[in-house]
Amino acid sequence: MSRRVTVNGVELVYEDGGQGTAIVTLHGGPGMGSRAGDWAAFQPLTDSYRLVSYDQRGNGESGAGEPYSHAQFVSDLEALRVELKLGKIVVLGGSYGGFLALEYALAHQEHVHAVILRDTAASNRFQGTSMDRAMSSGFPMDQERLERLFAGKVASDDEFRESFAMIQPLYTVERDPAAEAERLARIPFRYETHNWAFSRNQPDYDLTGRLHEIGVPVLVTVGREDWITPLEASEELAAGLPNNEFVVFEHSGHSPHIEERERYLGVVRDFLARHVPAPAPARRRTRSFSRSRRRNAPSAPGPSSSTCRRARTRPCCSTTSSSSTLPASRSTRPSGLSPC
């Protein structure tokens, strides 16, 4: 059941489940994103961690209230962390939510265990190539409408919906028109939030010169076929972050957490197991296990090896399906997942 909390004068709607170290998800798609996709995708992690997914101000079911600046979104997240008594957190941001995850880590690194980035960027420099990809995709595109969308000059929620319907086929490697139609019907479009983000926030967004300041472990993930935050954007992130692990999902577009879901969750679990405090162990039923037997007991096997695992201080690799020990098969998309 969703919950509500008021922070910085705006009511935020959120989901909260599980126990242990808190993972807070930041959805993308300002003006059309919501907590629903992240909550559906990452809910399996509640077996070991606390998961909090919320609609940012001006998004989903949360209240409106300018400014929709990065500074305000970061302030809201910090206020939410304090209000929910989350302590030190893992920040998981996808797409535009990755921008905010980076901004939060720079502003409040003392409250961050680790950062997980999915298909995002440290700057706005790849927007032109994204538009080129859209126009050369073979799908019907209205260049004028596309330019208004990227410039944050959308005139109404209806225009926003029609514009997203036009580009929606670009987001995944394998199309599912029925799923696209279902998703389009569910999205709560709020064009004012989108316009603020793309006309005011995006033009000056560039954190490349500050990435070296983020010292906590960062998992950088991207789908090789991502059209809007392309592989080069994640390569730029990996080149600038001093303590990162870089994983490329070969059979995905913008949403590897959906398109290669089981493998994506496996990569995330492996990263968390190595960088985040483990959940409290269950209480022992007996104290008769002797000290000498503890010394002689075989050590528990660690997580299976990965080509990325040891390169924690440099951008390490592109992990492909064939080289990973994690399953690479495409899983069925659970209800509620959306590539945003």
Q: Is the pLDDT of residue 289 over 70?
A: no
The structure's pTM equals: 0.84
Q: What are the beta bridge partners of residue 114?
A: 90
pLDDT tens, residue by residue, 38-84: 999 999 999 999 999 999 999 999 999 999 999 999 999 999 999 99
Q: What is the mean pLDDT of residues 306-329?
A: 37
Confidence of residue 277 (pLDDT cuts 50, 70, 90): confident
277 near 21, Cβ under 8 Å?
yes
> E strands along the chain, which residues?
3-7, 10-17, 22-26, 50-54, 89-94, 112-118, 218-223, 244-249
Q: Is residue 14 part of a domain?
A: yes
pLDDT of residue 190: 99
**HEC secondary structure over 44-78:** HHHHCCEEEEECCCCCCCCCCCCCCCHHHHHHHHH
Q: Is residue 290 part of a domain?
A: no
Q: Is the pLDDT of residue 305 over 80?
A: no
CATH number for the domain harbouring residue 57:
3.40.50.1820
Q: Is residue 104 part of a domain?
A: yes
Q: What is the mean pLDDT of residues 178-193?
A: 95
13 near 79, Cβ under 8 Å?
no
pLDDT of residue 6: 99
pLDDT of residue 1: 81
Within a 13 Å sphere around the CA of 192, how many CA atoms are in the beta-carbon half?
A: 10
Q: Look up the domain containing 259 and give its range.
A: 3-126+197-275
Q: Is residue 295 part of a domain?
A: no
Q: What are the beta bridge partners of residue 249?
A: 223
Residues 18, 23, 27, 28: is their CA dihedral positive or negative? negative
Q: Is residue 266 part of a domain?
A: yes
Cα separation, 104 vs 60, whole angstroms: 21
Q: Is residue 304 part of a domain?
A: no
Q: Is residue 329 part of a domain?
A: no
Using DSSP, state whether 104 is helix, strand or coil: helix
pLDDT tens, residue by residue, 21-34: 999 999 999 999 99
Q: Is residue 149 part of a domain?
A: no
Mean pLDDT computed over every residue of the chain: 87
Cα separation, 182 vs 233, whole angstroms: 30
Q: Is the pLDDT of residue 308 over 80?
A: no
Domain count, the chain: 1
